[in-house]
Structure 1
Amino acid sequence: MKTHITRHSIIVLAIALLMFNWYFVPVFIESTSMKPTLNEGGIILMRRLTNPGPESLEYTDLVMFDYKHKRNVLKRVIGMPGDMIMFDNKTIYLKKVNSPAFIEITNSLISHGKYNESGYPLSLYENEINGHKFKVAITGVVPQNDNNFFLQENMPVGQWLVPAKSIFVMGDNRDFSMDSRYIGFIDIKCVVAKSLGDGLFV
């Protein structure tokens, strides 16, 4: 009887683990590019996307994607297909598809000096897109680095039109993130997983 119960428990556990791995993916945070939201060395539990499309994602979602030789990259969705993004003086300006004008994504100061990066003190700000609020870190010491921005054909420096089936992503640690400002757009099909609401962090 005990053997039967043990075998049954093992089978149930194996099925449960398979289902968990099908729907969820734990992601190890390998960099500081998403500070203050995600801390290096932590873990975030995300929902696996099997056939991602534009309808699978929303503004401000945390997403994990593969980019060229680098796997499990974590960033935040800032622009959706058809949107126009402008980044000037460390501020995002968003013109959504079919919208008549750019909207400034205001950097509302929360605190200064609580976090630091490479010896630089970081100011903590709140951003809001589509009613979703999130925190970003910016330093007044590191320049905007326009010279290394990704240049889209027929667009000025620091301005991008998001193509169909792509997204524009950024890290929350704005001055220390290699994101769409530098590497360009991310094909939605490369997105492996997205956050569970505000995320489940360990």
Structure 2
Amino acid sequence: MANFYSILLTLVTLAAGLIWLYDAKMKRPARVALIQQAEQEANKTLSAEERERLAPQGTIAEFAQSVFPILFVILILRSFLYEPFRIPSASMMPTMLAGDFVLVEKFSYGVRDPLFRSELFATGLPQRGDVAVFKYPVNPQVDFIKRIVALPGDRIIYRNKTLYIEPACETRNESCPPLQVIKQTIQPQDEIYFNRTTPLQRFTEQLGDVEHEILVDPSVASRAAFYYQQPGTAMDEWVVPEGHYFMMGDNRDNSEDSRYWGFVPYDHLVGRATLIWMSLEFERGADSWVPQWFPSWIPSGVRWHRLGTVE
């Protein structure tokens, strides 16, 4: 459940705060009065240890007072500023690998409350080329991460593994931009990626102001028959509705994205991926220090060279 931890953190923080507040308003005055009376009778100021022994704070209230500030700071950071996500699959290779941990900027596309995800106020709009985390439209309880390829009103074609975009235009006249071929420039294979035994071709692509790399599997034929069919368009063509976005993975032939299930509503966006802050490797070769019988979730190494900003 994608929103489970946000809800749990909010409820636990609220509970700790209410317990602390109840103790401060209802219990603490009685403890203070008892200590003042004892000091008057003894005609001296009691030490902190004596005060605690005479009028101890309840264990639960003491724990709530200790953890509430920490939980509150974490809640603010996670809900409104930044949240860590783990990349579970290969759909965004080579930009992101399975085992990468990314930091997502939550306020990039509006500030939302952590429980109901209602927008509190707008802060910015998605841009073509952004790598974004969003609620999977087919099952909003699951988080997906893909690249924003097309914006509201754009016409997009993906044919013969080539991307075409006609940017949105309010008035269709001579000043409107024409259908553009998104040029792919093949890159040298300094680091080869595979789909099983097939080496993948590596290209650079320019989307808006963002230049990034994609992978294409030459052994995979067109899958247009499985594409999401939008009424009134060709099999491999889509027009992005208002308030929606078209997402694609950088590993073009190994990505379940908008080509297969349609568009992402604006209110499903979680944030923009900005930084790879950790990258763990889980593959175990013959020379791995991790025994083969160890659980698969135990990492076998850290890919330090991958740490940095997301392109």
RMSD: 2.5
2:90 and 2:277 map into 1 onto residues whose CA distance is 15
Q: Which residue of 2 aligns with 1:102?
A: 179
User: Per-residue CA shift, 1:47-85, capped at 9, x if unaligned?
Assistant: 124239794211111111112325110100000000000
Counterpart of 2:152? 81
Q: Which amino acid aligns with 2:92?
A: M
Shift of 1:129: 1.5
CA change 1:16–1:167 in 2 (3 A) is same
Q: Equivalents in 2 of 1:188, 1:53: separation in Å? A: 12
2:245 paired residue number = 167
| Residues 54 and 81 in structure 1, CA contact (< 8 A), matched pair in contact too | no
* Contact residue 105 and residue 272 of structure 2 kept, 8 A: yes
Is the CA contact (8 Å cut-off) linking 1:105 and 1:129 kept in structure 2?
Answer: yes
Quick one: distance in 1 between partners of 2:254 and 2:123? Answer: 27
Q: For the Cα contact (< 8 Å) 1:149–1:181, is it kept in 2?
A: yes
In structure 1, what is the Cα distance between the partners aligned to 2:277 and 2:158?
29
- Where is the strand percentage greater, Structure 1 or Structure 2? 1
The structural deviation recorded for 1:142 is 0.7
Distance 1:132 1:164 in 2: 23
Structure 1: give runs of 5+ residues left out of the alignment: none
SS in 1 for 2:187: strand
CA radius of gyration, larger in: 2
Match of 1:66 among 102, 125, 135: 135
The structure richer in helix per residue is: 2
Preserved contact between residue 129 and residue 209 of structure 2 (Cα < 8 Å):
no
- Aligned-pair identity (%): 25
Q: CA deviation at 1:88?
A: 1.1
What SS class does the counterpart of residue 253 from structure 2 fall into?
helix
Query: C-alpha distance in 2, partners of 1:12/1:53?
Result: 27
In 1, distance between residues paired with 2:247 and 2:122?
A: 15
CA contact (8 A) 2:155 2:165 kept: yes
* The one of 92, 101, 111 aligned to 2:188: 111
Taking a change above 3 Å as real, the CA distance of residues 25 and 11 of structure 1, as seen in their structure-2 partners, is same
Aligned residues: 197
Alignment of structure 1 residues 31-70 onto 2, 5 Å: 31-49=89-107, 50=112, 51=119, 55-67=124-136, 68-69=138-139
| Residue number in structure 1 paired with 2:257 | 179
Deviates more, 1:53-62 or 1:23-32: 53-62
Whole-angstrom distance in 1 between the partners of 2:150 and 2:94: 21
Gaps of 5+ in 2: 1-48, 50-63, 113-118, 170-175, 279-311
CA distance in structure 1 between the partners assigned to 2:185 and 2:65 by the alignment: 55
Question: Which of structures 1 and 2 has the larger relative contact order (alpha carbons within 8 angstroms, sep 6+)?
Answer: 1
Three-state SS of the structure 1 residue aligned to 2:127 is coil
CA–CA distance in structure 1, aligned partners of residues 277 and 258 of structure 2:
24
Question: Would you say the 8 A contact 1:169–1:180 is kept in 2?
Answer: yes
TM-score using structure 2 length: 0.58
